[in-house]
């Protein structure tokens, strides 16, 4: 009997963000992206870094510290083969994420470096300890 698995959803890893219009961009995806999924697919929660230009590519060996965003929607293998594919990418906070559900095929060290890089962008791992200072007038 086949094992059923539920599709990954953005709500699995994204717990809160202030404003989608500020925190998310429609990012150009690097053609033939390094992949976490089978047959060239990328999935919501994949950790991304800047590619060769204004595009995004999945983090790979020794690039965790260069993480600049998280993919917010799935990308099929067919979309991956097209140079003009754009997808929603979380690129700045304030935002809270669940680190157990962000995706990378790289080592735990690379994932930790990526989470540190994201914290510098104000995308923080939730758990009740994240705080922001507020400006008052």
- CA nearest neighbour of 105 among 9, 10, 35: 35
Is the omega angle on the peptide bond into residue 94 within 30 degrees of 0, that is, cis?
yes
CA 94 to the chain's CA centroid = 15
- For the segment 54-72, what is each residue's pLDDT rounded down to a tens digit? 788 888 777 888 899 999 9
- CA nearest neighbour of 56 among 88, 25, 29: 29
* 50 lies in some domain: yes
The first and second tokens of residue 59, run together, are 């983090």
pLDDT of residue 124: 92
* 6 lies in some domain: no
* 116 lies in some domain: yes
pLDDT of residue 104: 79
Total domain count, the chain: 1
* 91 lies in some domain: yes
pLDDT beneath 50: ranges in the chain: 36-37
* 37 lies in some domain: yes
CATH code for position 81: 2.40.300.10
* 134 lies in some domain: no
Length of the chain: 137
pLDDT of residue 63: 81
**Domain of 105?**
17-125
* 132 lies in some domain: no
């Amino acid at each position: 009997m086949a094992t059923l698995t539920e599709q990954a959803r953005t709500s699995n890893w994204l717990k809160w963000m202030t404003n989608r219009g500020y925190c998310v961009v429609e990012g150009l995806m690097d053609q033939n992206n390094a992949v976490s999924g089978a047959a060239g697919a990328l999935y919501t929660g994949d950790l991304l870094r800047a590619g060769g230009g204004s595009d995004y590519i999945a983090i790979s060996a020794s690039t965790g510290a260069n993480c600049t965003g998280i993919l917010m929607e799935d990308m099929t293998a067919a979309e991956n083969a097209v140079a003009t594919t754009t997808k929603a990418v979380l690129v700045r906070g304030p935002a809270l994420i669940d680190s157990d559900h962000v995706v990378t095929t790289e080592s735990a060290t690379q994932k930790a470096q990526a989470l540190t890089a994201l914290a510098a962008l104000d995308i923080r791992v939730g758990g009740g300890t994240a705080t922001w200072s507020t400006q008052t007038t």
